[in-house]
Amino acid sequence: MNHLLILNDPPYGTERSFNGLRMAHSLAKHDPDGTVTVFLMADAVLCAKAGQKTPDGYYNCERMLRRVLTARGRILMCGTCMDARGLGADDMMEGPTRSTMDELAQVTLAADKVLVF
Total-model pTM = 0.96
Residues 49, 89: Cα–Cα separation, whole Å: 9
Q: How confident is the model at residue 20 (pLDDT cuts 50, 70, 90)?
A: very high
**Amino acid identity, position 67:** R
Q: Which domain holds residue 92?
A: 2-116
Q: DSSP states of 18-84 as a string?
A: HHHHHHHHHHHHH-TTSEEEEEE-GGGGGGGBTT----TTS--HHHHHHHHHHTT-EEEEEHHHHHH
Q: What is the pLDDT of residue 48?
A: 98
Q: What is the pLDDT of residue 21?
A: 98
Q: What is the pLDDT of residue 107?
A: 98
Q: What is the pLDDT of residue 45?
A: 98
Query: How many structural domains is the chain composed of?
Result: 1
Domain with residue 68: its CATH number is: 3.40.1260.10
